[in-house]
Amino acid sequence: MVEDINMSVDLGGFSIKNPVLTASGTYGYSLEYGRFFDVKKIGAIVTKAITLEPREGNSGRRLFETDSGMINSIGLENVGIEKFISEKLPILNKSLDFIVNIAGSSLDEYVKLGAVCQENNIRAIELNVSCPNVKSGCLEFGTDEKSLYNLVSEVRKVYNGCLIVKLTPNVTEIEKIALAAQNAGANCVSAINTLKGMGIKLSWNKGKFSKQTVSGGLSGRAIKPVALAMVNRVAKVVDIPIIGIGGIYTVDDVFEFLSVGASAVQVGTANFTHPDVAGRLVDEIHNFMYENGIRSVKQLCDLLRE
């Protein structure tokens, strides 16, 4: 048995109390999940993607349940950076560790967002260069290493906190994208965002088919094998921490990501069906470490990677 358990994790200059975070777009802006458990228990939350101006998001059907997953086409609906700073940030600053996810339609928008975050002493940001549900920005940068290198370099000029780049799986060589992020000054990468997918619902009525479709990002249990493979590939080429994302529901899922090179994890789709899952995972990791005499997350990772 061991009493002095250290569950903290360093994400490249941004230290969090344990390796469980919640993924952008699945946890609101601050304490929305507080009715289900003590949100302050988790390592950090990642906010909904924030853009310069408020966005209403995509029209039409936005969510589609699939076998072992979900397709979303939200389209980065959010309150905009001005309202976020005035209304959401004060709550976050008083409550828990957080990372602000930012998204832009152009390099200039990302730089302006980075500058606002710097001015407001936000300790960590996550560059969303991987959302597949918008017409401009995001994937335009996240799928090309030269464009991404330029973007991260320019944001780094105006922001000196922990800079995390959220990687897309919708590329042939994720290693090149991750290296570009690291070489441009990123402190950490998170992997992966959603895969491009389509959901179809067919109905037969009076001799004719009708069809509903939703194109967007596939998440949930279905993408975990892809996410594990990509985290494993990225871990072989970068020297900065990796946050693993994709289909995490159980403590075994967390351990699998840590075993292939992740330093921490983000819980996403599971929050919609199990709103207390992040808190439960913190407890289960702690209990496992306590029962097995493991003193730190680093020691746990070393054991998992032997």
Whether 188 is catalytic = no
CA 274 to chain centroid: 17
Residue 187 has pLDDT above 90, yes or no: yes
Query: Which residue in the list 131, 138, 162, 301 is annotated as catalytic?
Result: 131
Q: What are phi and psi of 210, to 5 degrees?
A: -115, 150
The string of pLDDT tens digits covering residues 236-248 is: 999 999 999 999 9
d(CA 210, CA 197): 20
d(CA 191, CA 223): 11
Q: Indicate the pTM of the whole model.
A: 0.94
The string of pLDDT tens digits covering residues 12-41 is: 999 999 999 999 999 988 888 888 888 999
Average the pLDDT over each of 53-67, 176-190, 213-227, 290-304 and give the range with the smallest value.
Answer: 53-67
Q: What are phi and psi of 2, to 5 degrees?
A: -145, 135
What are 70's strand-pairing partners?
Answer: 65, 219
Mean pLDDT calculated for residue range 38-47: 95
